[in-house]
Chain A
Amino acid sequence: DAGVIQSPRHEVTEMGQEVTLRCKPISGHNSLFWYRQTMMRGLELLIYFNNNVPIDDSGMPEDRFSAKMPNASFSTLKIQPSEPRDSAVYFCASTPGQLNEKLFFGSGTQLSVL
């Protein structure tokens, strides 16, 4: 299995632009998580899905952030408009079950908003 696949690996954009991060979970995994990692706040859970349904989005910082999971093999995290403080590494992770502790992480997307 190729593991969790995220794209792009790096994204540099200007303030105000729309940013879309993509994630393909491991086939057969029915839970998907979006995390954001910064030096100041560490690893923060933004949102997670179970069977394509958002379960908890309380970690989404504000309305500029949205996430979708249209099918079991694809999810997006969108920031519109982006701001410099959104600069971080965004990780996607998947697990076989909703409460499974073994998260399989992608390699992350390094986002820089100038």
Chain B
Amino acid sequence: AQSVTQLDSHVSVSEGTPVLLRCNYSSSYSPSLFWYVQHPNKGLQLLLKYTSAATLVKGINGFEAEFKKSETSFHLTKPSAHMSDAAEYFCVVRLSGNTPLVFGKGTRLSVIA
């Protein structure tokens, strides 16, 4: 069963405009949610994580994500895109305390000058 769904495989934005990368999860419990970023030819890097504290989570490089239980969503946003933000972004969920992370299929973000 799909635990995490990234709704867009590719998002393209102009430099300086807002970024929205969508993620929905399915879980009977209160999951732990994360966003990872993968720059070209590199391994993945943790961007931010939600673990039932504040619903709005701030990460590195100006990114943030909001946990909305009613919508089962954890969308990633950034007010103003930079060229260096071009990368693959993965929404990740841990369904319960003793299970490994489950990765979404990723969203490729392109930033146009």
Which A positions have Cβ atoms within 8 angstroms of B? Answer: 4, 33, 35, 41-45, 48, 56, 91, 93, 99, 101-108
14 examples of A-B residue contacts, CB within 8 angstroms: A33-B100, A42-B104, A42-B105, A45-B103, A56-B100, A91-B43, A93-B44, A101-B46, A101-B49, A101-B94, A102-B49, A103-B44, A103-B101, A107-B41
Q: Mark B71-113, 1 if CB is under 8 A from A, else 0.
A: 0000000000000000000100010011011111110000000
Which listed residue (A44, A45, A56, A105) contacts B44, Cβ 8 A?
Answer: A105
Closest CB in chain B relative to A2 CB, distance in Å: 13
Contacts of B102 in A (CB 8 A): 45
Contacts of B42 in A (CB 8 A): 107
Q: Does B26 contact A (CB under 8 A)?
A: no
Contacts of A42 in B (CB 8 A): 90, 103-106
Closest to B90 in A: A43
A102–B101 Cα gap in the complex (Å)? 10
Contacts of A56 in B (CB 8 A): 100
Which listed residue (A4, A35, A45, A99) contacts B98, Cβ 8 A?
Answer: A99
* B105:A106 contact, CB within 8 angstroms: no
* A105:B45 contact, CB within 8 angstroms: yes
User: For the side of the interface on B, what is the size category?
Assistant: 20 to 34
Which listed residue (A4, A45, A48, A101) contacts B43, Cβ 8 A?
Answer: A4
- Give me the 3 closest cross-chain CB pairs, A-B, nearest first: A105-B43, A42-B105, A43-B103
* B49:A106 contact, CB within 8 angstroms: no
- Interface residues in B25-53 by Cβ distance below 8 A to A read 32, 34, 36, 41-46, 49, 51
A85–B51 Cα gap in the complex (Å)? 37
Contacts of A48 in B (CB 8 A): 100
Contact flag A106-B103 (CB < 8 Å), given A99-B98, A101-B32, A101-B94: no
Closest CB in chain B relative to A103 CB, distance in Å: 7
* B43:A108 contact, CB within 8 angstroms: yes
- Given A101-B46, A103-B36, 12 further pairs, Cβ under 8 A: A35-B103, A41-B105, A43-B90, A43-B103, A44-B103, A45-B102, A45-B103, A48-B100, A99-B97, A99-B98, A101-B34, A103-B44
